[in-house]
Structure 1
Amino acid sequence: MRRHQIILEKLAKEEHLEVSDLCELLDVSAVTIRKDLRLLEEKGLLYRTHGGASLDNPYINEKAIGEKEKISVEEKNGIAECAARLIDENDSILIASGTTVQALSKFIKPKNKLTVITSSLHVVLHLIHDKSIEILQLGGYIRHSSGSVIGSYAEHILANVSCSKLFLGVDGLDLDYGLSTTNLEEAQLNRQMLAAAQKIIVLADSSKFGKKSFARICDIDQIHELITDKGISTGLIRKFEEKGIKVTIA
């Protein structure tokens, strides 16, 4: 079918398509486009996502941090540098685990004093030489794949602290499924971090959108700000903003 060919050709160029854009391009209804996408997915030619289609499998398997560090490096550094500018004088912040928030630690330049609470060993190693930063390293079992801690010891500490901001990295970000990661215990620790922070800031490059991982962290509407790269579509920006989430393009 000619319509299917057009969809696949456009998807090959853009990697992700919105149903609304395809309706306008092909002058057909959303019901027709969704039927087309379902048929193409059944043939193994694409993956359906929330409100669209993608060439990438939306289901994420766990990868070692060394492998993750090599993916979207420029985008992650741009996001991290942008996020670092949100840290205030004499601030107290939470930094979760993951390569994007790990990159954040390279750009932190404290204004007077800064308190950092983190589950990431890599973040600590980046910050430990700056005497103006007070670091609380959460304790517990260490995940070898991420270089971060998990478990009840870390959760107990978080139950007794409050910070202005949480900088959270995720493996997947889907409008319906929410934020997710590959490990159940890490998702639980992330939820404790959410409860300990006044503002939730998610750092995620655009490859994470429309993706789902094994362990769900929270709903999309629990976050306050999303910092990402220019790979995000205008349609997706609009959907986040409709939920009251500030979107910042690094």
Structure 2
Amino acid sequence: MTRAERLSALLELLVSDGKIDVEASAEHFTVSAATIRRDLDYLADQQLLNRTHGGAVPNATSYDLPLRYKAIDHGEAKARIAQCAVAMLWPGCTVSLNGGTTTVEVARAIPGRESLQTGITVVTNAINIATELIVRPFVKIVVCGGVARPQSYELVGAMASETLGQLTPDICFLGATGLDPVAGITTYDEAEAAINRVMAQQAKRTVVVIDSSKLGTIGFSRICHVDEVSSVITDSDADPAVIAILRARGVEVLLA
């Protein structure tokens, strides 16, 4: 394993476990503890984590790690959520997807649904989602312009807003950093929130796809209030109290 590969693996470990232990990591990667300490010092210098005595923990901006470091987090739940989401689609429909690891799973699930292979249109502001689907001849891809954010692969800004504001998809699958019954559906970046808000407003139906770990979480910038969405798809580990509040407010909640 090269150092670059080990650094990536350490960041994945940070996302999945919430901390890094020097001695355990040294044993796992079959290197010395001193090597792991140097790796953690380097990552701390890049402001990707905070060093602690004997290891490291996420810092205030760890939520902004590139998506490839987040993909493994609650991966099985996200795959189930994606299958539940694509079951809502029908041949010839138009669907919009914002960026995020759960919406990427939705995109990956589309080709596996045989009924959709007669044709479907996907509107997205996420470069990686467009890349996932462009090779599928039955999928028409519509991508907005804008400024690309390397942390999420999302296109944001006035150009993105102008394009997406002229489209009216049948359904929007909306990924988010957090969903709180009071604070609403949120993300950590205000530019992403603005574009995601346009996507939610323009769709005939908006469905939030979000794993249970994000319920009750509040990000920096609101995308929309919970009563502005039709449904929420989450996993079976979701807090029953949050589910009850959402349903009481007229939001359909589906457990995958």
**Bin of the TM-score, shorter chain as denominator length:** 0.7 to 0.9
Q: For residue 148 of structure 1, report the CA deviation from its aligned partner.
A: 1.4
Give the TM-score taking structure 2 as reference length: 0.72
CA distance in 2: counterparts of 1:199 and 1:224, whole angstroms: 6
Give the TM-score taking structure 1 as reference length: 0.74
| Aligned counterpart in structure 2 of residue 221 of structure 1, from 227, 230, 236 | 227
Q: What does 1:1-250 correspond to in 2, within 5 Å?
A: 61-109=63-111, 110-250=116-256
Q: For residue 188 of structure 1, report the CA deviation from its aligned partner.
A: 0.4
SS at match of 1:108: helix
CA distance in 2: counterparts of 1:60 and 1:249, whole angstroms: 28
SS at match of 2:123: strand
Q: For residue 60 of structure 1, report the CA deviation from its aligned partner.
A: 8.2
RMSD: 1.4
- Write out per-residue CA displacement over residues 190-244 of structure 1, whole angstroms, 9 at most, x where no aligned residue: 1111121010000000000111111111111111110010111322221111111
CA distance in 2: counterparts of 1:211 and 1:63, whole angstroms: 17
Q: Is contact 2:216–2:242 with CA below 8 Å preserved after alignment?
A: no
Q: Is contact 1:106–1:126 with CA below 8 Å preserved after alignment?
A: yes
CA distance in 1: counterparts of 2:175 and 2:62, whole angstroms: 14
Q: Is contact 2:97–2:123 with CA below 8 Å preserved after alignment?
A: yes
CA distance in 2: counterparts of 1:164 and 1:87, whole angstroms: 9
Q: For residue 111 of structure 1, report the CA deviation from its aligned partner.
A: 4.4
**1:20 — aligned with what?**
none
Number of aligned residues: 192
CA distance in 2: counterparts of 1:119 and 1:161, whole angstroms: 12
Q: For residue 81 of structure 1, report the CA deviation from its aligned partner.
A: 1.2
**Corresponding letter in the other structure for 1:100:** T
Q: Is contact 1:119–1:138 with CA below 8 Å preserved after alignment?
A: yes
CA distance in 2: counterparts of 1:90 and 1:166, whole angstroms: 15
SS at match of 2:254: strand
Q: Is contact 1:101–1:203 with CA below 8 Å preserved after alignment?
A: yes
- Write out per-residue CA displacement over residues 127-177 of structure 1, whole angstroms, 9 at most, x where no aligned residue: 111111110111111000011111111110112111110000000111111
Q: For residue 62 of structure 1, report the CA deviation from its aligned partner.
A: 2.6
**Corresponding letter in the other structure for 2:222:** R
SS at match of 1:160: coil
**1:13 — aligned with what?**
none
User: Percent identity, aligned pairs only?
Assistant: 29
Higher relative contact order (CA 8 A, sep 6+): 1
CA distance in 2: counterparts of 1:121 and 1:73, whole angstroms: 20
**1:53 — aligned with what?**
none
Question: How has the CA–CA distance of structure 1 residues 60 and 218 changed in structure 2, closer, same or farther, with 3 Å as cutoff?
Answer: farther
CA distance in 2: counterparts of 1:77 and 1:162, whole angstroms: 26
> Unaligned 5+ residue runs, structure 2?
1-60
**1:8 — aligned with what?**
none
